[in-house]
Amino acid sequence: MRGLINERVILTVILLNAFVLFLEAFAPLRMAMGPLLLMVDSACVVYFILEAALKMRYQSVHGYFSDAWNVFDLGIVLLSLPSLMSGAPALFTLLRLLRLLRFLRLMRFIPNIERLMIGGKRALRASVGIFMLVFCYLFIFGLSAHYMFGYQTTVDASGAVVHLYPEFGDPLLSMYTMFKIFTIEGWYEMSDNIAAHSTGITAHLIRLYFIIAVSFGGIVILSLLNAVFVDEMSHDIAARTEDEVEEISEEVEEIDARLERISNRMMAKLDEISERLDRLEEKRE
């Protein structure tokens, strides 16, 4: 029974389950092989439950729950259990999405995942201030863009009043639009479109507004966020490298000390042999 909870077996079942979910996304395959795919998916869920039960048996309940990965795996399995039930289309879609959580179990098989997670936590803690700065900057520019452009209207061919820039129709939409602009992708299209409906100094001021927004939000602040995050990740790696170098240096020093002691003993032995040879020579004479 222990063979059923071998890491390779667990990984194989997870990959099989992910492959089944992938095949189910194709309508022709789902219609042709629906019952078979459902049966394999259900068998995978049964295996995951059996895996948890066997681990509790061999590791004890306390030992099982003392491992964070076991708790993580069990939580994912329990969340995906309702997917075995049928229901309304909307509920069925939600349950199918929950089944995808099982694929997250592959995280435990990623090499050095513990180190990556520790480095990620350090980077997130160091980036909290930058995230707050991004939010404040986004809030200011999103709200200001809403007041400047969200209330501008025009009359269409039917005589109805429509907003010129629905992307800034409310503060949340405006913040979302400004966030897209911060990514720098196609930002000039929005500024050119708004400036085209203005004339003179107003058009130039609109362009200047978006230049400032992109320069500081899209280039300076987001680049700073990336720099802080990467620096913290690399700092963790550099710290481990320094520790390893220090350990190697200590080992080299210990080896040097051993070699020096061996050299001293060998010299003492050579001196002793030389003295004996001298005494033998004296006796022969």
Ordered mean pLDDT values, 10 residues apiece, the chain (285 residues): 76 84 82 85 84 85 83 78 56 58 68 69 72 85 89 78 84 89 80 83 89 82 76 65 77 86 85 80 71
Residue 247 sits in a domain whose CATH number is: 1.10.287.70
**pLDDT value for 155:** 77
Number of domains in the chain: 2
**pLDDT value for 189:** 84
**pLDDT value for 104:** 67
**pLDDT value for 103:** 66
Same domain, 225 and 159: yes
Contacts of 161 (CB under 8 A, 6+ apart): 153, 154, 155
**pLDDT value for 88:** 43
**pLDDT value for 62:** 85
Same domain, 259 and 139: yes
CB 150, CB 170: distance < 8 Å:
yes
Same domain, 166 and 105: no
Same domain, 153 and 24: no
**pLDDT value for 233:** 64
The two tokens of residue 97 are 């999405």
Compute how many other C-beta atoms are within 10 angstroms of the C-beta atom of residue 150.
Answer: 21
Same domain, 95 and 126: no
In eight-state DSSP terms, residue 214 is I
Q: Which domain holds residue 184?
A: 111-285
Same domain, 92 and 138: no
**Residue showing tokens 């907003």:** 163
Same domain, 65 and 180: no
**Residue showing tokens 């063979």:** 3
**pLDDT value for 87:** 47
